[in-house]
């Protein structure tokens, strides 16, 4: 079902199913905004857990608040919570009383409204807002946007039947998605295990030496104030730390250098450079990769080391060894920073990384073997990702068809109602 159909239905130019109405969200729910709690009220324990946008999943609460908590900003089970920035995450709250932070809001139903139905129906309205009204990079949803949106609403008993049906069918699809995600996790675990086994095999045949034995020089770039845009191929760009993942380099992760800033040309990356992130999350700090053939005009930032090595070791060999659990664990354990969201390592720690002392012929054979393994697993990942995408599309098509009355849920099966329906 297209969004255009929903827009026409909301405007009254489509015939609604019998007994259905188009209603403003503001007529169906009350809305309370979160509260801008002062940082001094935060702590690892307190009166209530604090819910921020990143807390809309099921992860443990990290922060609690104490002191004045406005009753209107206290969540209770059954409320619908909406994150008002970015992707507009939404969930029906089921984790007990909690304090709602700013940039979120809660919705509570008025009489004759099943909140589960609203929770299923509302994301389609959010997507219309997203598609039609936002032109900026950072998207923001206001209370007025939410309250002025329109939802196609059947009688209460039918709302409940539709919500019951979708609870069952989406849970089935979610289980299938979870199984597919577990496949991806197993592929990643298999790759790490194969790499660690290969490294252990090298170590069993030879000693390890610290990376400092092979370091010829190291440098870093600078991080001027850049534009929040990716540089085009003929523009200068400063690489972000996200350009590096263990064993992978993504040149598209950069920020455009303003025209009035002279580029530090000595910091331009070249094919064959060995790069290491000195700052990132604990899970990604120390990510290491070799730059493949790459376009010109890409610059190091001050959060990335560029290491030049002696003739005794291949950069690709060091990058492969750095993906192993030994060095990844050293990076996570040795990192430090102001918070767990950003950690740092010193180059003295990088120079202590243990590297098997083997001949270059053995290094080359090792790199080729590890590359073949990664390529085989990489060929499987897109197939799993495609299955997840198809399941997600099917889930949304099923919800859209149900909340707009395209079929009678009392006689339908979720495994055939989406035939011929476009998500």
* Per-10-residue mean pLDDT, the chain, length 423: 42 72 92 92 93 87 92 93 80 93 91 90 58 49 86 93 95 95 89 94 92 95 90 95 94 95 95 95 93 96 96 95 94 65 88 95 96 88 92 92 88 57 40
State the residue for tokens 């130019």. Answer: 13
Both 35 and 100 in one domain: the answer is: yes
Q: Is residue 42 part of a domain?
A: yes
What is the per-residue pLDDT for 166? 95
Q: How far are the Cα atoms of 19, 120, 158, 273, 346 from residue 153, in angstroms, in the given order?
A: 9, 11, 9, 59, 59
- Looking at residue 142, its pLDDT comes to 84
Q: State the pTM of this model.
A: 0.69
User: Are 102 and 229 found together in one domain?
Assistant: no
Q: Which helix (H) or strand (E) holds 129?
A: helix 115-133
Find the helix or strand (DSSP H, E) in which 92 lies: strand 90-92
Same domain, 259 and 380: no
Q: Within a domain: residue 415?
A: no
**β-sheet bridge partners, residue 220:** 305
Pairing of strands 237-239, 298-299: parallel
Q: Which two tokens stand for residue 130?
A: 């997203």
Residue 422 in domain: no
On whether both 177 and 130 belong to a single domain, the answer is no
Question: Does residue 202 contact residue 320 with C-beta atoms inside 8 Å?
Answer: no
Yes or no: say if 262 and 341 are a contact pair by the CB < 8 Å rule.
Answer: no
In a domain, 416, yes or no: no
Per the domain annotation, does 192 fall within a domain?
no
Domain CATH for 213: 3.90.220.20
**7 shares its domain with 99:** yes
In a shared domain, residues 77 and 214: no
Question: Residue 399's domain spans which residues?
Answer: 155-185+363-407
In total, how many domains does the chain have?
A: 3
* 194 located within any domain: no
Helices (H) and strands (E) in the chain, counts: 9, 25
255 lies in the same domain as 273: yes
Q: Could you tell me if residue 190 is inside a domain?
A: no
């Amino acid at each position: 079902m297209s969004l255009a159909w929903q827009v026409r239905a909301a405007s009254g130019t489509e015939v609604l199913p019998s007994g259905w109405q188009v209603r403003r969200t503001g007529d169906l729910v009350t809305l309370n905004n979160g509260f801008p709690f002062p940082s001094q009220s935060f702590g690892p324990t307190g009166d209530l857990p604090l819910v921020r946008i990143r807390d809309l999943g099921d992860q443990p609460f990290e922060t609690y608040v104490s002191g004045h908590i406005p009753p209107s900003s206290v969540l209770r089970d059954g409320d619908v919570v909406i994150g008002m920035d970015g992707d507009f995450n939404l969930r029906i709250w089921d984790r007990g009383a909690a304090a709602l932070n700013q940039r979120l809001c809660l919705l509570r139903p008025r009489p004759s409204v099943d909140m589960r139905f609203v929770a299923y129906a509302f994301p389609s309205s959010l997507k219309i807002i997203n598609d039609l009204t936002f032109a900026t990079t950072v998207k923001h949803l206001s209370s007025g946007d939410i309250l002025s949106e329109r939802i196609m609403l059947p009688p209460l008993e039918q709302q409940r039947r539709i919500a019951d049906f979708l609870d069952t069918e989406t849970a089935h699809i979610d289980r299938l998605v979870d199984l597919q995600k577990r496949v991806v996790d197993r592929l990643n675990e298999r790759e790490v295990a194969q790499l660690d086994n290969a490294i252990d095999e090298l170590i069993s045949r030879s000693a390890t030496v610290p990376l400092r034995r092979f370091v010829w020089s190291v440098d870093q770039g600078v991080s001027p104030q850049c534009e929040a845009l990716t540089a085009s191929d003929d523009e200068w760009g400063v690489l972000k730390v996200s350009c590096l993942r263990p064993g992978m380099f993504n040149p598209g992760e950069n920020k455009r250098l303003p025209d009035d800033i002279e580029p530090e040309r000595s910091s331009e990356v070249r094919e064959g450079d060995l790069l290491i992130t000195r700052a990132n999350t604990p899970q990604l700090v120390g990510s290491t990769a070799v730059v493949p053939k790459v376009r010109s005009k890409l610059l190091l930032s001050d959060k990335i080391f560029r290491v030049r090595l002696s003739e005794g070791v291949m950069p690709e060999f060091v990058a492969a060894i750095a993906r192993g659990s030994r060095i990844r664990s050293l990076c996570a354990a040795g990192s430090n920073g102001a918070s767990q969201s950003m950690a740092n390592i010193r180059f003295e720690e990088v120079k202590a990384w243990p590297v098997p002392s083997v001949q270059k012929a053995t290094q080359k054979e090792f790199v080729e073997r590890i590359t073949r393994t990664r390529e085989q697993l990489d060929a499987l990942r897109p197939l799993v990702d495609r299955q997840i995408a198809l399941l997600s599309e099917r889930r949304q098509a099923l919800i859209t068809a149900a909340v707009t009355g395209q079929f009678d849920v009392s006689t339908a099966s979720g495994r055939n109602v989406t035939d011929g329906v476009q998500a």
